A = this chain, B = another copy of it.
Amino acid sequence: MTTASALTGVIPPVSTPLTPDLEVDTGSLARLVDHLLTGGVDALFVLGSTSEVAYLPDGHRKVVLETVVGHVAGQVPVLAGVIDTTALRVLDHARVAAGAGADGLVATAPFYTRTHPDEIAVHFRTIAARGGLPLYAYDLPVSVHSKLGTDLVLELAADGTLAGVKDSSGDEGGLRGVILGRRDRPEIDSFSVLTGSELTVDSALWMGADGVVPGLGNVDPHGYARLFRAAEQGNWVAARSEQERLLRLFQLVHVGAGRMGMSSSALGAFKAALHLRGIIDHPATALPQIPLNADEVARVKEYLATAGLL
C-alpha cells in the first residue's frame, strides 16, 4: 500500500494501551485497531502525541509498530510517528518504522534545541532524503515551541520533501494559507493537508483540508467518520451537527486539569473512555503521568453517556 495520492479522511492517532506494569498491551491494542477500522477510519497514525510517544521507550515503540502494522495487514495505510529532537535521531526511528512496514513517517520540527527556520528545512530534507518513506510534517508548537510557517511548508511540499502536513497548531489562518497555496501550485496537488484540531473539522474540510487526525477519534471513530462522510457528500449541516456533538464530548480532556499536566488529563481521559467502553483492558497511562482518580473517571463516564457512547 502506498500513499502516492493525497492522504484523506479520518486518521486517528492511535492510543497505546498499557498493562498495569506499563508494558504495551498488544491484545488491547489490536482490539483498539479493530474498533477504529470498524468505525470507518481511513488510515492510522501510530506513535503520535496521543499515543504517548514521548513516554514510550524504543522497545515499546517497536512493539506498537509491529502490532498495528501486522494487525492492519494492509487494510489502510499506517503512518508512524518518528518523534525525536533532531534529524539523526528521527532517522533511527524511521529505520524501525520502515522495517515494520509503515506506509509513511510523521516528524515534528526539532525540539529541545533553539532552531532557525532554515535549519528546520534542513531537518525535514534530511529525514525525507534518508527516511525511505513519504514524510508528513507535524506542526505542533505546543510541544516543540516553534511554528512551521506557511511559506516553509509550501516550499517543502514543492520540492518533494513533504507528502503532507498535520497541522495541530490551531492557526486556522495558516492552515488556510497552505490550502490556498497548494491550489495555486497544481504540481503539489497530491500534498495532503490534515488538521489536528479536532474541534474544527467541518470548517477545515470546508476550507479544503483533506482530512483530520483527531485524538478524540479513539473514543468515537464513528462520529468522526460520519462527520467526514457528511462533508464529502456536501451535507455540511450534518457535518456541523456531528462536530458540535464531538466538541461537547471533547470537554472530557479537562477532567484532571489542575491536578496533573494537560497531557496527562487528556491522555488519561481518552484511555478511561476506551476502558469504560470495553475496548481496552486497562486505563493505565505511562510514567510519570498522574492517573485519573475515581471522581474524574466518573465524569468521563458522564461525558460518554451524554454523547450516547455507553
Contacts and interface: CB of A to CB of B under 8 A. Distances in A.
A3 interface: no
Interface string A22-53: 10000000000000000000000000010000
B87 A288 contact: yes
Interface string A206-229: 110000000000000000000000
A89 to B, nearest CB: 5
Contacts of A91: 57
Contacts of A143: 112-114
Given A113-B263, A206-B203, A261-B113, A173 B197 contact: yes
B54 A116 contact: no
Contacts of A197: 172-173
A271 to B, nearest CB: 15
A259 to B, nearest CB: 7
A180 B203 CA distance: 15
A64 to B, nearest CB: 13
B88 A56 contact: yes
Interface residues of A, number: 66
Nearest to A59: B92
A199 interface: yes
Nearest to A179: B244
Contacts of A54: 85-86, 89, 110-113
A160 interface: no
A190 interface: no
Contacts of A176: 199-200, 244, 247
Interface of A: 22, 49, 54-60, 83, 85-89, 91-92, 110-116, 118-123, 126, 142-145, 170-173, 176-177, 180, 197, 199-200, 202-203, 206-207, 236, 240, 244, 247-248, 250, 259-264, 286-290
Given A126-B287, A172-B203, A173-B247, 6 more contacts: A57-B92, A58-B92, A121-B288, A177-B247, A180-B244, A202-B206
26 contacts: A54-B86, A55-B85, A55-B88, A55-B89, A57-B88, A57-B89, A60-B88, A86-B287, A88-B287, A111-B111, A113-B261, A114-B142, A115-B261, A116-B290, A118-B259, A118-B260, A122-B288, A123-B287, A123-B288, A172-B203, A176-B244, A180-B244, A200-B203, A203-B207, A206-B236, A206-B240
